[in-house]
C-alpha cells in the first residue's frame, strides 16, 4: 500500500511493520490492508494537525493531546466506536513495533483510551430458517449445475461452520470421495480439519458431477459461470435472493450460516472448546459470544412461557 502522507523514514518503517505482520504474525492480506488504511488515516490527521508530513521524530514527540485530537476528529467525522477501537489497536501495534526496532519511543500511546465498544451478539438463523435456505437456493438459478453449486456451498457453510472465504478457498483435491472431514485454510493461513456431514458431502459430490468444467485436484472446488474460482459477491447475491424468497431478516448472510452452526451446536450441548476449534477461533472469548445468543434465546422462551414472567409483565 502506498500514499502514506509521511517522511520516507516513516514509510519504510510501515513497510517493515507490514512485512512483519505478514510473515511473523501470519496476518491475512485483508488484515494488513485494513491496518494500512487505519494508519493512513492517522498520518493524514497528523499532516493536517502539524502542518507537514510527520517523520519518526514527530511520532516520538506526540503527546496525549495529539492522540485525543485524533480521536475527536474521528468522532466529528461520525466514525463508529468499533472502527475507532480497531484504529487505536492498529496504532498501538505500530508504535510497539517502532519501539522494538528503536525507531521511536512514545509513552503517550499507552494512555490512549477509547469508548467501550458494545459487545455484539452474532445474528444466527433458526434451524428451520437455515435448512429452508439450503433447500431453497438451488431453485433460484436457471442453470441446474449452478443451483447445485449454491446448495452445496450453503450446506457446507451451515454444516461445517466455515467462513465464506474458507469455503471458496477449497480445491477439488481437498474433498474426499468418502469420509467425515475436510482440511481448510483459515485466518493467518492456519489449517484445521472440519467435520463434513454425509448430507453435505453428498451435496458437494452432486454439484461436482453436474459441473461442466473438467477441473483437476489443484483447481477450485466452487467455480463461477466461466470456470474460475467463485467470487464471494456472487454467493452473497444468491443469499440475498433467498432472503427475499423466504422473507428472512437482513442479517441472513452467508456468514450468518456460520453463526447458526455455532449457535445450534452450543444449544445442543456442544463443548465450547470444541466449538472454538471447529470455528478456528484463536481466542475462546470470541467463541463465548455464542453463549450470549443462546442465553437470549432462553430468555425469550422464558418470557413467553413462564407463568411468573407473565405475571411480572402484567
Catalytic residue selected from 70, 158, 207, 290: 290
Half-sphere exposure of 268 (CA within 13 A, CB side): 11
In a domain, 295, yes or no: yes
d(CA 86, CA 117): 10
- Asked if residue 293 lies in contact with residue 121, where contact means CB atoms within 8 angstroms, the answer is yes
Catalytic residue selected from 74, 148, 149, 163: 163
Q: Note if 187 is an active site residue.
A: yes
Indicate the SS3 state at residue 199: helix
Task: Specify the pairing of strand 191-195 against strand 181-185.
Answer: antiparallel
What cell numbers appear for 82 in the block? 468499533
pLDDT, position 295: 47
In a domain, 3, yes or no: no
Q: How confident is the model at residue 44 (pLDDT cuts 50, 70, 90)?
A: very high
- Sign of the C-alpha dihedral, residues 281, 111, 106, 100? negative
Q: How confident is the model at residue 8 (pLDDT cuts 50, 70, 90)?
A: very high
In a domain, 125, yes or no: no
- Asked if residue 272 lies in contact with residue 292, where contact means CB atoms within 8 angstroms, the answer is no
For residue range 260-269, what is the model confidence (pLDDT) as tens digits?
888 887 777 7
Q: Note if 264 is an active site residue.
A: no
Mean pLDDT, all residues of the chain: 84
Q: How confident is the model at residue 314 (pLDDT cuts 50, 70, 90)?
A: very low
60 and 193 in a single domain? The answer is: no
> Taking 60 as the threshold, does the pLDDT of residue 40 lie above it?
yes
In a domain, 48, yes or no: yes
- Domain ranges, residue 291: 133-302
142 and 101 in a single domain? The answer is: no
**Residue-wise burial string across 121-160, b where 16 or more C-beta atoms lie within 10 A, e elsewhere:** ebbbbeeebbebbbebbbebbeeebbbbbbbbbbbbbbbb
> Taking 50 as the threshold, does the pLDDT of residue 301 lie above it?
no
| DSSP bridge pairs for 192 | 184
192 and 100 in a single domain? The answer is: no
CATH number at residue 40: 1.10.150.130
Number of domains in the chain: 2
Catalytic residue selected from 22, 240, 281, 297: 281
d(CA 169, CA 236): 16
Dump strand ranges (E) for the chain. 181-185, 191-195
189 and 279 in a single domain? The answer is: yes
For residue range 140-185, what is the model confidence (pLDDT) as tens digits?
998 999 999 999 999 999 988 888 999 999 999 998 877 778 888 8
- Asked if residue 64 lies in contact with residue 112, where contact means CB atoms within 8 angstroms, the answer is yes
In a domain, 192, yes or no: yes
The predicted model scores a pTM of 0.58
170 and 267 in a single domain? The answer is: yes
What average pLDDT does range 4-15 have in this prediction? 93
Q: Note if 290 is an active site residue.
A: yes
149 and 90 in a single domain? The answer is: no
The domain boundary residue, chosen from 111, 143, 173: 111
- Asked if residue 77 lies in contact with residue 40, where contact means CB atoms within 8 angstroms, the answer is no
> Taking 60 as the threshold, does the pLDDT of residue 206 lie above it?
yes
Per-residue DSSP letters for 154-182? HHHHHHH---HHHHHT-BGGGS-SS-SEE
In a domain, 46, yes or no: yes
Element (H, E) at 311: helix 307-313
Q: Note if 243 is an active site residue.
A: no
Which among 75-89, 224-238, 287-301 has the top mean pLDDT? 224-238
153 and 254 in a single domain? The answer is: yes
Indicate the SS3 state at residue 195: strand
104 and 153 in a single domain? The answer is: no
Residue positions counted in the chain? 314
Q: Note if 281 is an active site residue.
A: yes
Catalytic residue selected from 49, 68, 187, 229: 187
* Residue 176 Ramachandran class (φ > 0 left, ψ -120 to 50 alpha, else beta): beta
In this predicted model, which residue has the larger pLDDT, 273 or 197? 197
- Asked if residue 254 lies in contact with residue 114, where contact means CB atoms within 8 angstroms, the answer is no
79 and 189 in a single domain? The answer is: no
> Taking 90 as the threshold, does the pLDDT of residue 12 lie above it?
yes
Instruction: Compute how many other C-beta atoms are within 10 angstroms of the C-beta atom of residue 77.
Output: 10
Q: Note if 113 is an active site residue.
A: no
Amino acid at each position: 500500500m502506498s500514499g502514506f502522507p509521511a517522511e520516507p523514514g516513516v514509510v519504510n518503517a510501515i513497510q517493515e511493520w507490514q512485512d512483519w505482520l505478514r510473515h511473523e504474525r501470519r496476518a491475512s492480506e485483508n488484515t494488513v490492508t485494513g491496518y494500512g488504511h487505519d494508519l493512513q488515516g492517522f498520518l493524514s490527521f497528523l499532516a493536517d494537525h502539524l502542518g507537514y508530513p510527520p517523520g519518526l521524530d514527530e511520532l516520538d514527540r506526540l503527546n496525549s493531546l495529539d492522540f485525543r485530537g485524533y480521536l475527536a476528529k474521528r468522532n466529528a467525522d461520525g466514525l463508529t466506536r468499533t472502527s475507532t477501537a480497531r484504529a487505536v489497536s492498529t496504532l498501538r501495534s505500530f508504535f510497539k513495533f517502532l519501539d522494538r526496532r528503536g525507531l521511536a519511543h512514545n509513552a503517550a500511546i499507552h494512555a490512549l483510551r477509547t469508548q467501550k465498544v458494545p459487545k455484539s451478539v452474532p445474528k444466527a438463523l433458526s434451524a428451520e430458517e437455515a435448512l429452508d435456505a439450503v433447500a431453497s437456493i438451488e431453485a433460484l438459478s436457471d442453470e441446474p449445475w449452478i443451483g447445485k453449486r449454491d446448495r452445496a456451498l450453503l450446506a457446507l457453510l451451515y454444516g461445517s461452520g466455515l467462513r465464506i472465504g474458507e469455503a471458496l478457498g477449497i480445491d477439488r483435491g481437498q474433498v474426499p470421495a468418502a469420509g467425515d472431514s475436510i482440511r481448510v485454510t483459515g485466518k493467518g493461513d492456519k489449517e484445521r480439519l472440519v467435520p463434513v456431514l454425509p448430507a453435505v458431502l453428498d451435496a458437494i459430490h452432486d454439484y461436482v458431477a453436474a459441473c461442466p468444467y473438467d477441473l483437476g485436484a489443484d483447481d477450485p472446488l466452487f467455480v463461477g459461470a466461466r470456470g474460475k474460482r467463485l467470487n464471494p459477491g456472487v454467493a452473497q447475491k444468491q443469499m440475498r435472493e433467498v432472503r427475499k424468497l423466504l422473507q428472512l431478516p437482513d442479517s441472513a448472510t452467508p456468514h450468518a450460516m456460520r453463526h447458526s452452526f455455532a449457535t445450534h451446536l452450543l444449544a445442543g450441548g456442544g463443548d465450547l472448546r470444541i466449538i472454538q476449534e471447529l470455528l478456528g477461533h484463536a481466542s475462546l472469548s470470541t467463541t463465548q459470544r455464542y453463549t450470549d445468543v443462546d442465553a437470549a434465546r432462553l430468555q425469550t422462551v422464558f418470557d413467553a412461557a413462564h407463568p411468573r414472567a407473565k405475571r411480572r409483565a402484567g
